Structure 1
Amino acid sequence: MRLKEPGAAYSSVHYSPPRAGGTLEALDLTRRFGDRTVVDEVSFRVEPGQMTGFVGANGAGKTTIMRMIMGVLNQHGGTVLWNGRPIDARARSRFGYMPEERGLYPKQRIADQLGYLGQLHGMERSRALTEAHRLLDRFGLGERAKDRLETLSLGNQQRVQVAAALLHDPVALVLDEPFSGLDPTAVDAMVGLLREYMARGVPVLFSSHQLDLIDRLCDALVVLDSGTVRLAGPVEQLRGARPEQYRLVCTADAGWTRGQPGVEVVDLDGNTAIVTPADAEARNQLTRQAADRGMVEFARLRPSLGDLYREAIS
């Protein structure tokens, strides 16, 4: 089976790469399935040139929200804004979208169907094929361009799906589990490519269950639980709002820290204590006591996004 080639309907459409950059915003998005509310007044912003991680357990509402952003599902309440205005079909057509269900044809040749998808976005076929080959080269698949998709491993099929989302020079990216099934080399290649788009102001929203990857990549975080936002904002702001924790290592047992005024001992293991001082005075008093007892280390701990996620849903 071959994809039907675009005909006269596309002959008058000329591709012009749009200027990148903008702000994507969800305001009080709500969605119900029957009597069950699966997304309940969800609000967040994806800023230009930033990568925002969408985190939550299966069924938290991530995919449903992405579908509403892209117009695949209608919302029962709330609004999606692009650069401060309600989004429309024209604006959405300039987005790059990678859905949860992969939409490529397994028996079609890779470059042919990428070229066709580019034409659906208004690109001339020659331009679409040139861009398809460029992206396939970036993902190490240049020599497989004429192969059928089904001959690739699942990880490489994932790379092709990402290439399809990037093909038409999108002004925003909405990616549902884009790193699923990718090996570390492919992850690095994709991250490098996404950062090039971000440098031009493209906002990136992506979902993932890989908290270490979220911690490594994201400028901002949205934590969903049962269809509601439990935590959202710039990563450094969220980290800064968390009580300061320190690791204290002494030459002898650190059990004495439990009696220090204004100090919460979060964890204690021999000569090492994880502590949260109530204020600067409590911290200074603690370090003075520790110095008298043979302090080896006193270092502030940087909370991971995994820590923030687990605290938000607990």
Structure 2
Amino acid sequence: MDLIVAKNRTDLVKARGEGSVALVPTMGALHEGHRSLIREARVRADHVVVSIFVNPLQFSPNEDFSRYPRTFDADLEACRAEGVDVVFAPSADDMYPAGRQVSVQSGEMGTIVEGAVRPGHFDGVLTVVLKLFNLVQPDVAVFGQKDAQQLAMIRRMVADLDLPIDIVGAPTVREPDGLALSSRNRYLSADERQVALTLSRALRAGAAEAVALPEGAAESVPARIRAAALAVLEGAAPRLALDYLVLVDPATFAEVSESYRGEAVLAVAAKVGTTRLIDNAVLSLDPA
């Protein structure tokens, strides 16, 4: 069956078929990372729906909404190549009709780490994701681990609002040199791209410290992880402007204590030139 492009709610209802549905929400400008999400969705449901919608609610006035890449024709070709059944590409007016008053509030977790740098961002993310869930009615939704706090927030919303949807987190896809794939990478000059590689190098340096310390060691594992990653990032200053480097609990995004043991996320955000990038690594802090 050829790809169906639904431009509004009515088209989406007409396109709905029998069987299970997996949703891959995107803002378009699809790259290999998005395609990996689509492939993950394909093995989890009978039908795959990809949404393409640049959500204005998650951009603050000083962010790059108008600059965000829009490559709709190329996105459709990528979806066809991956066997997507339906692309849902609504307009902003269709998603947010005039007079809208009710939105999702992301709570305390939406105000820390990425939420502290981008106030209101996660309110916008959760509002559009909930609307997509209600419109598409998927059984499964697939998101990338690269947006780790977003993934945690969506899992929290699904749990808190009792949504009957399985949330799947798919691994971050990287270039051969380690740079995490992002729609914003296209804005990096050749020199800036070399600076951007500092993010993945810092994460690898931190991961190398994610081992139990010898008995009697003065410095904790979390402290060693942060120090190793920060040393790499500081070496790229001032060309890399750091927003944050944190080691957090993957479920709450609260900073881990020095005695913490278990899975943790080492997350970083920085600006290179005019391009803001995020990245993270999932680490296991084993007990001594």
Higher RCO structure, 1 or 2 (CA under 8 Å, sep 6+)? 1
Greater strand fraction, Structure 1 or Structure 2:
1
- Structure exhibiting the larger radius of gyration computed from Cα positions: 1
- TM-score of the pair, normalised by structure 1: 0.28
